[in-house]
Amino acid sequence: MHLSPDEIVYWQFGFFKLNATILFTWCLMLVFLIGAKLLTGLLSDKDERSRWQNTLEIIVLGIEKQISNVGLSQPRQYIGFLGTLFLYVALANLFTIFPGYEPPTGSLSTTLSLALCVFVAVPYYGIKQRGLKDYLASYTKPTFIMLPFNIIGEISRTFALAVRLFGNIMSGSMIIGIMLIIAPLVFPIVMTALGLLTGMVQAYIFFILASVYIAAATSVNTIQPPSSIEQAKEK
Amino acid sequence: MDSLTMIAVTSIITSGITIGFGAIGPAFAEGRAVANALMALAQQPDASATITRTLFVGLAMIESTAIYCFVVTMILLFSNPFWNYFIAQSGN
């Protein structure tokens, strides 16, 4: 029984190991690359549109709407990063319907690297939107004593993000493995269906949490003067 | 008991306790969440799409606490660092 697809090594040359995680990540990258090439070649702004363009528009607009629901007012600015996160995790989890496929998100190295991307992207967008001084000052809100706790929170939520995705996907494949021993007839299929649902929900959560973190870092929380609040109340 | 047996006994017992107690909190929390969501659904059936989506996200967030315990259990059982260390020691 193996915990993660890291332990399946197909080919080894000295320090370099070609394990299942890397291989299936490459496959996913290939699928994305070919898919994007094919789809963007078909785009047109006439009235006649292909089915694939409509699908693409639904996906892009849906992601954009979700990002703006979280509180980022200009979703186009972030869709390159956040949309890729969502599509990658969702596709990596959905491909489990193919036999022989090991989801790369079931390996802690993949999820940790995705979480580290979020960890780097949060200050990047924060500094870009608010300026270096204003962003760093946000760590000392509400008082200066909170500085270490804010930093610890930043690091621990990165780990939580990684372990949440890893644990959910790993437990899914683990449960299917145990089910195959106990009740091999119908139950593994039911658990696989449940695993697909969990995979989609986890992809959504990963994406939403990353958006929330970025929204929290970029939002300029100016304290309203009391007069304007009272005016708003009167209205 | 030598140290290998000690490690084996402790990790097996601890992993059982971890997953057992780790499931209690999320179970209660998920029960509360579902109960409240059902009440909200009964009162406002129009908002069912939003409620269901938020419920699913919330359930997965709650469940992740149980998943953390599960990950710790799996590490204790299948890739225990102390066990591996002492196995390597006795090999030498």
Q: For residue range B66-83, what is the model confidence (pLDDT) as tens digits?
A: 888 988 898 888 888 888
CA distance B13 to chain A (A): 20
> What is the domain count for chain A?
1
pTM: 0.82
**A10 occurs within a structural domain:** yes
The residues with which A17 forms a beta bridge, in sequence order, are A12
Does A232 map to a domain?
A: no
CA distance A171 to A164: 11
Residue numbers in B near A170 (CB within 8 A) = 71, 74
- CA pair distance B52, B36, nearest whole angstrom: 11
Q: Write out chain B residues lying below 8 Å of A167, CB-based.
A: 64, 67-68, 70-71
- Give the number of domains in chain B: 1
Amino acid identity of residue B67, one-letter, is: I
pLDDT attached to residue A96: 87
**pLDDT at residue B44 greater than cutoff 50:** yes
Q: What is the DSSP letter of A101?
A: -
Alpha carbon of B81: minimum distance to chain A alpha carbons (Å): 14
| Residue in A3, A168, A205 closest to B79 by CB | A3
A97-131 in b/e form (b: 16+ CB < 10 A) is eeeebbbbbbbbbbbbebbeebbebbeebbbebbe
Interchain contact, A198 vs B64, CB within 8 Å: no
Give me the CATH number covering residue B17.
Answer: 1.20.20.10
pLDDT of residue A223: 47
Domain presence at residue A23: yes
**pLDDT score of A224:** 47
Predicted confidence (pLDDT) per residue in B46-67, tens digit: 988 888 888 888 888 888 888 8
Q: Which domain holds residue B26?
A: 3-91
Angle between helices A20-41 and A51-70 (to 10 degrees): 110
Q: Residues of B near A (CB-CB distance < 8 A)?
A: 56-57, 60-61, 63-64, 67-68, 70-71, 74-75, 78-79
Averaged pLDDT, groups of 10, chain A, 235 residues long: 75 82 92 90 80 88 90 86 93 88 89 94 91 87 84 89 90 82 84 88 91 86 50 51
Mutant choice from A158, A163, A165 vs B, greatest count of B C-beta within 10 A? A163
Residue A231 lies in a domain: no
A64: its two tokens: 């954009």
Q: Which two tokens stand for residue A188?
A: 């593994």
Among A171, A174, A202, the residue with its CB nearest the CB of B60 is: A202
Domain that holds residue A199: 5-224
What single string gives the DSSP state of each residue in A23-83? HHHHHHHHHHHHHHHHHHHT---SS---HHHHHHHHHHHHHHHHHHHHT-S-GGGTHHHHH
